[in-house]
Structure 1
């Protein structure tokens, strides 16, 4: 792990996408840390960058079941990493087109098909994106850090913010960060304001 800047991330993705086709990059970090912002910055700065959003892999389950999960179970079940692996990471690693249905937050189900082509750089951004089961697929892992106070404020600004849910989600994130320690595996740790 080394501290880095957005410019360092741009340079590394540019270098990797010359060598790997596609270069697979994970951007991990707590909610509201700036993962999407970094992904969009990379996409704007470089050619041929596609983004796969972790929010598209929210696991379909009844809300009553979701609210019963403690932190370890939440880490294991909120995010459908098996589907991400099967539908995106394996095909792209085999230089095949990836196709997946995105989670639709309005209806609580999978809906629109998305297609990711095996070229350039593909960024998978989202909490839990660099979990141990997925790390081997990535050519680079970036971890985004932001002050807790800033993240909490950003979370409250989101339309879907519900305090009881945020507490459960945050507990699952903390469990992941402490148990799986993505900092130790990150190629760059980027602090954003």
Structure 2
């Protein structure tokens, strides 16, 4: 990682992508500790009602300012309240971890210093999701998984990853 060049202004952007429930958040937390880096979760932009088309807000609030070496301010989406919540600030430079479904999509690949893909078997991912969100979220998770399957197939995301991680552990 230390040898990778900053491709987003003076910031080294690491994307941790993969399907829901694969273990991306756990890996992101480990990298954040190791590199003393902030994590920008795509869950701060996505919602059950907007699984993948939230990217313009991430571009304008996070990626464009970092690319200009400017302070980044983004507003987190609160999934429980179904509304935008508090603001978060990130200074440019160093390492920033972008974690979540579609975080290494084609639109950001040229600006990534490193792309990681985390995967786990579908039944395990669904079980993890329902453990977190409750069994009443089954239909939401089924739709989410269908949406991400379509996205990953069209984007060919995994094939562009620098590192592939087994998220079953």
TM-score by structure 1 length?
A: 0.78
Paired residues, number: 164
Q: Give the corresponding residue for 2:12.
A: 23
Q: Give the corresponding residue for 1:165.
A: 140
Match of 2:80 among 96, 106, 110: 106
Q: Give the corresponding residue for 1:180.
A: 155
1:48-127 equivalences under 5 Å are 48-58=36-46, 66=49, 76-77=52-53, 80-127=54-101
Q: Tell whether the 8 Å contact from 1:49 to 1:120 is kept in structure 2 after alignment.
A: yes
Distance 2:134 2:39 in 1: 22
Q: Tell whether the 8 Å contact from 1:75 to 1:176 is kept in structure 2 after alignment.
A: no
1:149 CA displacement? 2.3
Are 1:34 and 2:23 an aligned pair? yes
Deviates more, 1:86-95 or 1:154-163: 154-163
Q: Could you give the per-residue CA deviations for residues 21-47 of structure 1, whole angstroms, max 9, x where no partner exists?
A: 31011110000101111111112223x
Structure 2 portions without partners, runs of 5+? none
Distance 1:76 1:191 in 2: 23
Q: Give the corresponding residue for 1:149.
A: 123
Q: Which has the higher helix share?
A: 1
Larger Rg: 1
TM-score by structure 2 length?
A: 0.89
1:143 CA displacement? 0.6
Distance 2:126 2:141 in 1: 9
Coordinate RMSD, CA, aligned: 1.7
SS of structure 2 residue aligned to 1:158 = helix
Structure 1 portions without partners, runs of 5+? 1-11, 67-73
